[in-house]
Amino acid sequence: MQLGLIGLGKMGGNMRERIRNAGHEVIGYDRNPKVSDVKSMKALVDALEAPRVVWVMVPSGDPTRQTVAQLGDLLEPGDLVIDGGNSRFTDDFDNAEMLKKKGIAYLDCGVSGGIWGLENGYGLMVGGQAGQVKRAMPIFDALRPEGPREEGFVHAGKVGAGHYAKMVHNGIEYGLMAAYAEGYELLEAKDIVTNVPGAFKAWTRGTVVRSWLLDLLVKALEEDEHLEDVSGFTVDSGEGRWTVEEAIANSVPMPVISASLFARFASRQEESPTMKAVAALRGQFGGHDVMTVKEGQKLRAEAEELRHPKAVKKVAKKAAKKTTARKATAKGKAAASAGPSSGTGSAGSTTRGRTSTSTAGPTSGTGSARKATTKKAAATKTAKKATAKKAAARRA
């Protein structure tokens, strides 16, 4: 079978090779002349025999929409366009409608397999008319993994269903990766666990959590045991967001996938406005110390140098001791200048340069033990007086 393929990047280039290896003719076009078989999209269309089948494998959004629109002007009635990128399923409705007016058929195909697809094959999820799916089946069979067709290919439903299924697939992928990653961090944090990569590798056979993603994490840890050269800054390509949006639109509870998406947002913040507000509130209602941005950065830097999550606690404890020592010194100076006083409670606490005196009202966790004892003694004395009065009244 003959196929035109537009987009020869990381996936498109490997797909061209896999289809060719299956015995089909592929004419590829890419803006990069070093990898392109022809000089233009028009040249690609001219090189194909009618009725043509053209697969689009370019970034989602405007690049795909513009490419499909151009094909609509170049192709003829009876031709077929397949969008194999990560387009939002709603774009498929517009693409199919636009091409239908020109007598051109349309399929959407979600493709999973990444850079490993050339060797392992690609999972395919297709949406569109059954007749057009059958027409393109030789190409789908060339791309999917070896074995039963239904274990690597699905005609998911109407136009848009293929990309919708791929969207949910990627949302699940977000949640799975986050779960493995959380487990990794906990194992790294526990001092009794000395072989974290080995633990993950032991899970790759015979356990309920084995998967290809787990295999890839093992590979990553074998290359960099503590992921020292890996930044936590994590982007998202869109499908996770769309999955959560669809969950809201369809009233489907989705706490795991939502949390994994939000974790990616958090990974891009050097300082979290949310946690700044929490720290500020703790200072307001409880008189707790509020670190400056510089102090927080120093704390993180010291923990990073030690390269172990538990170091955060150790460094924080060390910083707390320093803060306590500074407070004690300040209290001593204040007491010396104010003269003798009863009790050991502090007359005020300092928060980021502001002094909050005891007249500001009670706070949680700041009362001294001696004050509590004095209050209890006073209450006992009052109770004894009341009892004595009652007894005197009865005698009278």
Active site residues: 166, 173
CA distance 55 to 5: 5
Task: Please give the order of strands across the beta sheet that includes 153-157.
Answer: 25-29, 2-6, 53-56, 80-83, 105-112, 123-127, 153-157
Name the residue among 78, 88, 79, 82 with its Cα closest to residue 68. 82
Is residue 269 left, alpha or beta, with left meaning phi > 0 and alpha meaning psi from -120 to 50? beta
β-strand pairing of 53-56 with 80-83: parallel
Element (H, E) at 13: helix 10-21
Report the SS3 class of residue 345.
coil
State how far the Cα of 124 lies from the Cα of 126, in Å rounded to an integer.
Answer: 6
* Residue 288 contacts residue 282 (beta carbons within 8 Å): yes
Pairwise CA distance, residues 102 & 75, whole Å = 9
